[in-house]
Chain A
Amino acid sequence: MKGAVFRKGPDYGKSWHKFSNNYLSQVGLGVVALVAVIAIFAPYMAPYPSNAGFFVNYPEAHEPPNWIHIFGTDQFGRDVLSRIMFGFRYSLMMAVVVLSLVVPLGVVLGLVAGYYRGGKVDMVVMRCADIFLAVPPLVLALSICSVLTPSVFNAMMAVSLMWWPWYTRLVYSISSSLRNEAFVQAAEIAGASPFHIIFREILPNCLGPILTKITLDAGWVILIGASLSFVGLGAQPPIPDLGTMVSDGANFLPEQWWVSLFPALAIVLVILGFNLLGDGVRDLFAAETV
């Protein structure tokens, strides 16, 4: 509280201090950073970069984990570790593309519906959101993918189409309650425009929950992408998608367990990382409002 401070934002120092004191969030940040680095530099870091795509080396097929192939090889003799490292690329790409499509759309719809609460916009937007939310997202995403040609791109589109209502509903619940707060009324009385009120007064108060959800969702979007390709309706071989690798490997259980198990654990690692990080982000924003 002491000393003249010209800070432009909330107390990030304190927030970071709190975040960095949380051991689990740091682990999460570490995991996510590691996965991101691997994904970006996969061509340079993977022991056998060529194994990512169409590659056949039957003499080395179905090798259990050893010093040459730490996670073993699959039915075509491809190095599982290398394929997992490339798999992270598709996973992260999925998360980035889907969330960057879905978040702005969902957030803006939620803000607008919340601001015009009780009006026609609210009616239409929120009823639509409810319809999209009437069935688990994976189920609808599966059915959309099924009528399209299975591909990474179509999977991303299908998941995006299913995901926006979650943000709309989250933001709506905050913005519609903030709508009646005295500070919003004060801005209205001052003569501020709806644009100002929505984006300058209400939106900043939604940021904490939104960023927390984005972090957590990164994991869940990756999971849903993997699930689509696990079933065969997402990424198609030979793309090294983690979900495809798990389902391909499942055909060789239990003898060649490594082909399936290591990609599965890679998925777990990514989700765990984003989950831990998400809890940290939540704390970060909680610390700010103390």
Chain B
Amino acid sequence: MSTEQILTVKDLKKYFKTTRGIVKAVDDVSFSVIKNETFGLVGESGSGKSTVGHVIMGIYGPTAGSITFMGKDISKSVGKRPKELKKRLQIVFQDPASSLNPRRTIAQILELPFKVHHLAPDGNYAEKAFEMMDLIELPREFAARYPGEQGGGEKQAVAIGRALATGPSFIVLDEPTSALDVSIQAKIINMLMRFQKEFDLSYLFITHNLSLMRNVAQRVGIMYLGKIVELAGTPEFFSNPLHPYTKMLLSAIPVITPEEEALKPEKIMSTGEIAGALNIPLGCSFHPRCPFAMDTCSKVVPSIIEYKRGHHVACHLYPSAGNSQ
């Protein structure tokens, strides 16, 4: 497998100004996605994982830091990006009920990207839409239907089809199955995995579901209050988690088989709640919930270090030159 980086995020910051103060939704996040891999970004609500995806898509510009995509800097909002780039970078949103316009037919939705980028030389956009429907396994007679009449799985398939239309090389998957039932989730995930191989895609897979992540991602990053606290290859990540927060998450996941239970790390009881984005604790933002918190934890922000080869962690328990004052 190649290690060519298709997308690199460096020191990314996204702050939102509100009347009650500044919300640091994303604070100094760096990672890169390798060509043809699925990079998983995991976190609870308020961790900033979706914001990362939205900044990459240019839904809003970053406050600081850079995003490099296929060698070009794209640290700006979508309106200012070159059209050619827009074709290469796509997103599937969490809830297809809101990402598909309820007043446009499935055909109209699927034709749009082809039309915008003039991707039908003969002008037969309807045919393009039909072909896309074949690809996402939707009967052609659904073309004139509205999204509201479809089930969640079918709607999400349409959203995937729309993302694929322009022939992208990178897709942000923003919790693509969290609005779906388990029995339908499987079909969508398998479709995504198939397309990845077929079309040489790289994914940034954002989710709160670690079990799902285990099955789809090659590498995983965990976010907590706007920062990545741990990042590793999936097998290493699940067999040897380092950060106390990761351990807490893993022990909190409900599982159904004894084999899964055996895989969990020593039980770390989950305590406390994620802090409000307006009053992030000083030092390590996880320290109020951390059973291993030390004095330094409330004072010094741990920087992220490569503890082992390919395994990064931001925690004072794993000292390196940078963290051992």
Contact = CB atoms under 8 A, between A and B. Distances in A.
A182 B103 CA distance: 14
B283 to A, nearest CB: 34
A5 B166 contact: no
- From A190, A205, A207, name the one whose CB has the most chain B CB atoms within 10 angstroms: A190
A205 B113 contact: no
A194 to B, nearest CB: 9
Interface string B79-99: 100010011011101110011
Interface stretch (A6-14, A160-168, A237-245): A6-14
A191 B117 CA distance: 8
Interface stretch (B6-14, B140-148, B190-198, B248-256): B140-148
Interface residues of B, number: 37
A5 to B, nearest CB: 7
A189 interface: yes
Given A201-B104, A204-B103, A205-B103, A190 B141 contact: no
Contact of A192 (B87, B112, B145): B112
A188 B79 contact: yes
- From B102, B103, B104, B105, name the one whose CB has the most chain A CB atoms within 10 angstroms: B103
Contacts of B79: 188
Given A189-B86, A189-B90, A183 B101 contact: yes
Contacts of A193: 116
B100 interface: yes
B144 A5 contact: yes
A5 B113 CA distance: 24
A1 B148 CA distance: 12
B116 to A, nearest CB: 4
A253 to B, nearest CB: 52
A182 B113 contact: no
A226 B251 CA distance: 73
Interface string B126-149: 000000000000000101111011
Contact of B116 (A10, A192, A204): A192
Nearest to A182: B99
B103 A7 contact: no
B112 A183 contact: no
Contacts, number: 77
B162 interface: yes
B144 A183 contact: no
Which interface class (under 10, 10 to 19, 20 to 34, 35 or more) fits A?
A: 20 to 34
B146 A185 contact: no
B57 interface: yes
Given A183-B99, A191-B116, A204-B104, A6 B59 contact: no
B101 A204 contact: yes
Contact of B101 (A1, A188, A191, A205): A205
B78 interface: yes
Contacts of A7: 144-145
Nearest to B89: A189
Interface in A172-211: 181-183, 185-193, 196, 200-201, 204-205, 207
Contact of B112 (A6, A187, A205): A187
Given A6-B144, A204-B103, A186 B116 contact: no
Query: Nearest 6 CB-CB pairs, A to B?
Result: A182-B99, A4-B141, A204-B103, A182-B93, A183-B101, A191-B116
Interface of A: 1, 4-8, 10, 181-183, 185-193, 196, 200-201, 204-205, 207, 289
16 contacts: A5-B144, A8-B105, A8-B144, A10-B103, A181-B98, A182-B95, A185-B59, A186-B91, A186-B162, A187-B101, A188-B78, A189-B86, A189-B89, A201-B101, A204-B104, A207-B103
